[in-house]
Structures are given as structure tokens and as C-alpha cells.
Structure 1
Amino acid sequence: MKKCMLLLILGLASYATFISLKQNDFESESYDVRIINGFSNNSSLPLIIWCESEYGGDIGGRALQERDDFSWSVKSGLWKTPLFFCTIKWDGKRKKFEAFRETRDRYRCEKYRQCFWLVKEDGFYFSSDEIAWRKDFSWT
């Protein structure tokens, strides 16, 4: 009898937890990731970019001239925690960085679900609105 009561209580607790989850918790959310060449004068030397997901999904790359961009959409949700890496090369410099990490970016990109990177001579700048830019890290 005690065992049946315990199973009933555990079942009710599990059900209460399940119904308290929002429907959004089971649906995927979409984020737009965009990397922009923000160099002031490199028209003769493009910014080379190549991106891939943690799970081996190659999303490709491009040679970006001034103000060109490379972008893609990311789906996340309860069962997915996406992570995308990009390698950027320019004039002998090379940097691999996390362009989108769901555990980090769901908070800072949440309002518009947009994550922007502006790559400049002195480093990599982040914004969720393309207005307020914050330097996240340098090339080295």
C-alpha cells in the first residue's frame, strides 16, 4: 500500500511539473546570427569566414568585403542546445570563436532573437540590435 501511495504521489508530482511547463519549452526558437565585416578599409583583402556547428554541420563560408555579411538561422529548444563556431582569417591573423552558444546567447539575443558580430581591426564586437555594440574580445 505504501509503495502504491508513493508511486501515486510521484506520478502526480511529475504530471504537475509537466503541465507547468510553457508550450514554448517544447517548441524550437529561432535566432538569426549575422557576422559583418566592419573593417574600415580592406577592399583589397577580404575577411575570410567559415562556420560549422558543434555536431559537425558545416554551414559554409565566404570572403567578405567591407560591410558584407554572412548569416544563418539557429533553431533551439528543450532538446537542442546549439553551438556554432566560426573561423575568421584576415592578413595573417586567424581567430576561432563561438558565434552562437545557446546557453549564452538565449539571454543576450532574446529581445529580437538576433545576434550580430562586427569584426573590426581591433576585435570582435557583439550586438543584439545593431545599435549598441560591445567589444567581446580581441584577435589575440
Structure 2
Amino acid sequence: MNTRKTIILLLFMLIAISLTIIFTLMLQPQTMFLGEEFDVRVINSFRDNSSLPLVIWCTSPQGDLGGRALQEGDDFEWTAKIDLWSWMAEYTCTMKWDSKRKQFEAFKVSRDSNRCGSTKKCSWSVREDGFYFSSDEVYWTKDFSWL
């Protein structure tokens, strides 16, 4: 009899947890799902650095994304795909400009899956005074400085 009560209790708890998960997913339509893809773009938005490019090098959970030297207006972009192995992933870029160097998370699933919006665009404008984020490339918010 004791074993039977334990089994019933465990089944009840399993049903309660399952219903909680289902209702949570239904109430949060922007919840990230495996297989989602996000377009990540880093733009050199300096005003006058034609003789001094912005150097970028990025890595993903799957490995090296590569890099390049960006002149004014140039960009570096990739698609971040959320799979079973990268749902908590970070895509990290190292930026170098003159004597300044900064490593930052260009895409972090836990931070960006909602703020990149329905467009699933995550854009960065790198400027002399810092790094600006936008999901529409119209409105930009400064996230952090070079220092």
C-alpha cells in the first residue's frame, strides 16, 4: 500500500510539472525553441578611421567563425542557430581598434533570444565611444564602452 501511494504521488507531481511547463510556454510566445536562427551583425560605425580598420575575430560554440579587418561601414555577420548543444551558448567577438581591445558577447542566448525581437536580428554598431545594440538597426542602445 505504501508503494502504491508513492507511485500515485510521483505521477501527480509529474503531471503538475508537465502542466506548468505547457502553460508557461503558452503564456510566453517569445520563448526560444531549438532550431531557431538569429542573424547577428557587427558593423564598423566609426566616422573617420579609413587608415585604421576595426579588426574583429569571433568564435561560436561550434568553433571559430573567423574574422576580418572592417573599414568604415563594413560589417561581419553570421547566423546563430540554437540547437541541443548551444541553447545556453555565447558567441564571443574580440575587437581591436588602435590601442583599444575589447572582448564581448555578440550573441548570448539567455540575453538575446527575446531582445532580438520577432525579426531575430541582433545588430551591433561599434563606435568610438562604445558598442550599441539594435534589433531593427533604427533604434540603438549603448550596451557598454570600450573600457
Q: TM-score, normalised by structure 2?
A: 0.81
Contact 2:58 2:67 (C-alpha < 8 Å) held by counterparts: yes
Q: Trace 1:83-122 onto structure 2 (pairs within 5 A).
A: 83-122=90-129
Q: TM-score, normalised by structure 1?
A: 0.85
Change in Cα spacing, 1:97 to 1:72, as seen in structure 2 (3 Å) is same
Q: CA deviation at 1:83?
A: 0.4
2:67 equivalent among 49, 56, 61: 61
Q: Which runs of 5+ in 1 are unaligned?
A: none
Contact 1:75 1:82 (C-alpha < 8 Å) held by counterparts: no
Q: Deviations over 1:62-103 (max 9, x none)?
A: 110110000011122676122011110111111111111111
Who is 1:135 aligned against?
142
Q: CA deviation at 1:25?
A: 6.0
Q: Structure 1 residue 50 and structure 2 residue 57: aligned?
A: yes
1:97 aligned counterpart, secondary structure: strand
Rounded to whole Å, the distance in 2 between the matches of 1:89 and 1:15 is 48
Runs of 4+ in 1 over 3 A off after TM superposition: 10-27
Root-mean-square deviation (Å): 2.4
Change in Cα spacing, 1:25 to 1:73, as seen in structure 2 (3 Å) is closer
Q: Aligned residues: percent identity?
A: 55
Q: Deviations over 1:101-127 (max 9, x none)?
A: 111111211231111101111111111
Q: Which runs of 5+ in 2 are unaligned?
A: none
* Matched pairs, number: 139
Change in Cα spacing, 1:26 to 1:121, as seen in structure 2 (3 Å) is closer
2:106 aligned counterpart, secondary structure: strand
